[in-house]
A and B are shown apart, each in its own frame.
Chain A
Amino acid sequence: MKNIWAIYRKEVGLYFVSPIAYAVIGIFLILAGFFFSRILDFFIQQSFMLMMRASQFGMPPQEFDVPGQVMQSFFGVVSTMILFFIPMLTMGSYAEEKKRGTMELLMTSPLTDSQIVWGKFLATLTLFIIMLAPTLLYIVALYRYSDPRPPLAVAASGYLGVLLLGATLIAVGHFISSLTESQVVAAFLTFGAFLILWVIDAGSRGSQVLEYLSILRQFENFPKGIIDTKSLVFYASFIVLGVFLTLRSVDSLRWRSA
């Protein structure tokens, strides 16, 4: 535990002394804020239009769940955005250590490989949570001004979905970073892998296996407030697979000629 903490501490520390964390978090928040306000605008207009149309025809006003719609769209946008942002957070995790030779320091220290891998995984996950945390303000604002208030559980379920998706992407990103010595190659390959995992269901024509494999398809239910066991199992197994592959890859460094 102490060893995981030592690695974790160092990783989080290094994120914040390099400009990359600030750049990624800053740009993410600017974009997320922009999208949130546009989505809010759009659905408020929609609801007005519906109200006007209803009063024109003298019908009782249709029910329209503005906060629910906003949250669904917002989480949808966030889930797509993190496909672009997470490669920036994971690209250096192993590639940079290998390039600098510091992997040799870690691997000759009294640490097990899994302590190194989990420490790094938790560190990137923490940074991801820090990146996501300010968006809670948008949701708070949404709750503050909507009447009647939507159930809190919906937002919680949405965030759970984003977290699971993020953790899955981080696990995949770390694995790819452990395969190369170049951050650029790692970022590019990670991004490519995410795209494939995203659009894998596009050409499926109803093939359920491919649909099941799409990382965003599994995400769709969470912002609606539905926590599906199937999706939980999907993400959990994906995370375990990613971490396992990273472990194997780190272990293989010992067997390959350096």
Chain B
Amino acid sequence: MIEVQNLTKDYGHIRAVDNISFDVKKGEILGFLGPNGAGKTTTMRIITCFMPPTSGTVKVAGFDVLDESIEVRRRIGYLPENPPLYPEMTVEGYLDFVARIKNVPSRQRRELVHRAMEMCRVEDHRHMLIRKLSRGYRQRVGLAQALVHNPEVIILDEPTVGLDPKQIIEVRRLIKSLAGEHTIILSTHILPEVSMTCDRVVIINEGRLVAEDTPENLTIQLKGGEMVHLEVKAEAEALQQILCGIDHVRHIEIKPLDSADRLSVTVESERGHDLRSLLAATIVQNGYELYELRPVSLSLEDIFLKLTTEEETSPVASDQPQQEEARR
């Protein structure tokens, strides 16, 4: 449904997004995970046709964001980080306006506006001015705005920021219920949010794609402990037996390399046990040649660490956008 290929975006000399590629299948919820300033918003803005990419292609439902931008925009509902609201309008008036500019035919407009209000539970406040709504309600009106024309693709930039825990649960439930019929990309810097709502996760950091997998696999990888990659000249079966004998080894994967008769070996150890020196010693003692030894996916862990620590302080962190707004 969404194909992103080699996407790069420069702001002057700063590279905000660096050669990212990923796909989103129809009906899937993709979590877009990364610390603040990782390039999530930029990527979303390119997918929604707000800004053009520096290089690379993005296709939504088969339409290119540069060449067939209007077709793409017709199929996308987008909730930016700050909900784009007109404070002087009523909730219903605002949604009616959004339905108009999203080319909803006049016959369906009333019905779709009602549906969106019902789904986001803002019906009781439909005649209220947006100016008078609390932050949680504004966020919900923003969400209703993204849904009102029943788009195939929904893109949500940090949809739960600034909500209280009860509202967060409601919004997550709503997003989950939209899957299947709609294809959703959801960005967040909160790790548990992704595992609760998303089918698949793309992690980006400093503009680069770091990992792409299901939340389950990522968690297994993370909890699984430390991985070490080795390049050894040896016989596979013999090596397997020797390495299995080492304490705290959980899993061994051996693949032959094309060049010479070397093997590519990945050893997974229990968490908290650094086996690198032991592995090297064992291999050399057994008379094999060791060509390479390096830890794997440390960068991923770093990012997870960043994410998890941020989650712990999230009640404080979520206040920040509001303060920024006030300063402006």
Residues of A within 8 A of B (CB): 2-3, 6-7, 9-10, 13-14, 17-18, 99-112, 254-255, 257-258
Contact = CB atoms under 8 A, between A and B. Distances in A.
A254 B73 CA distance: 15
B50 A101 contact: no
Contact of B101 (A7, A14, A104): A7
B52 A100 contact: no
A108 B117 CA distance: 21
B32 to A, nearest CB: 17
A7 to B, nearest CB: 7
Given A14-B89, A255-B51, A104 B84 contact: yes
B86 A14 contact: yes
A103 B78 CA distance: 13
A14 B129 CA distance: 12
A95 B76 CA distance: 25
A110 B73 contact: yes
A96 to B, nearest CB: 9
A111 B101 contact: yes
A99 B11 CA distance: 20
A110 B88 contact: no
B97 A10 contact: yes
B84 A109 contact: no
B74 A110 contact: yes
A102 B84 contact: yes
Contact of A100 (B48, B49, B74, B85): B85
Given A108-B73, A258-B45, 8 more contacts: A13-B89, A14-B89, A101-B83, A103-B84, A104-B45, A110-B70, A110-B74, A255-B51
B88 A17 contact: yes
Interface in B1-25: 11-12, 16
B129 to A, nearest CB: 9
B12 A257 contact: yes
B70 A6 contact: no
B98 interface: yes
B85 A106 contact: no
Q: Which of A10, A108, A109 has the most CB of B within 10 A?
A: A108
A18 B88 contact: yes
A20 to B, nearest CB: 11
Contacts of A9: 97, 100
A112 B70 contact: yes
B82 interface: yes
12 contacts: A2-B100, A3-B101, A6-B97, A6-B101, A13-B89, A99-B328, A100-B82, A108-B49, A110-B73, A110-B74, A254-B52, A257-B16
Nearest to A105: B84
B89 A104 contact: no
A110 B12 CA distance: 28
Nearest to A16: B88
Contacts of B328: 99
Contacts of A14: 86, 88-89
Interface in B42-101: 45, 48-52, 70-71, 73-74, 76, 78, 80, 82-89, 93, 97-98, 100-101
Q: Which of B51, B84, B86, B101 has the most CB of A within 10 A?
A: B101
Which range holds the interface residue count of chain B? 20 to 34
B86 A102 contact: yes
Nearest to B99: A6
Contacts of B48: 108
B102 interface: yes
Contacts of B93: 13
B98 A105 contact: yes
A147 B82 CA distance: 63
A108 B86 contact: no
B277 interface: no
A110 B102 contact: yes
B103 A108 contact: no
B139 interface: no
3 nearest A-B residue pairs (beta carbon):
A105-B84, A257-B11, A6-B100
A9 B100 CA distance: 10
Given A10-B97, A110-B103, A255-B52, A101 B88 contact: no
Contacts of B87: 100
B145 interface: yes
A140 to B, nearest CB: 35
Contacts of A106: 101
Contact of B84 (A17, A100, A254): A100
Nearest to B87: A100
Contacts of B84: 100-105
Contacts of A3: 101, 103
A108 B52 CA distance: 12
B50 A109 contact: no
A177 B150 CA distance: 33
A10 B83 CA distance: 18
Contacts of A17: 88-89
A68 B145 CA distance: 55
Nearest to B103: A110
Contact of A107 (B50, B85, B88, B145): B50
Q: Which of B52, B78, B97, B328 has the most CB of A within 10 A?
A: B97
A109 B88 contact: no
A205 to B, nearest CB: 45
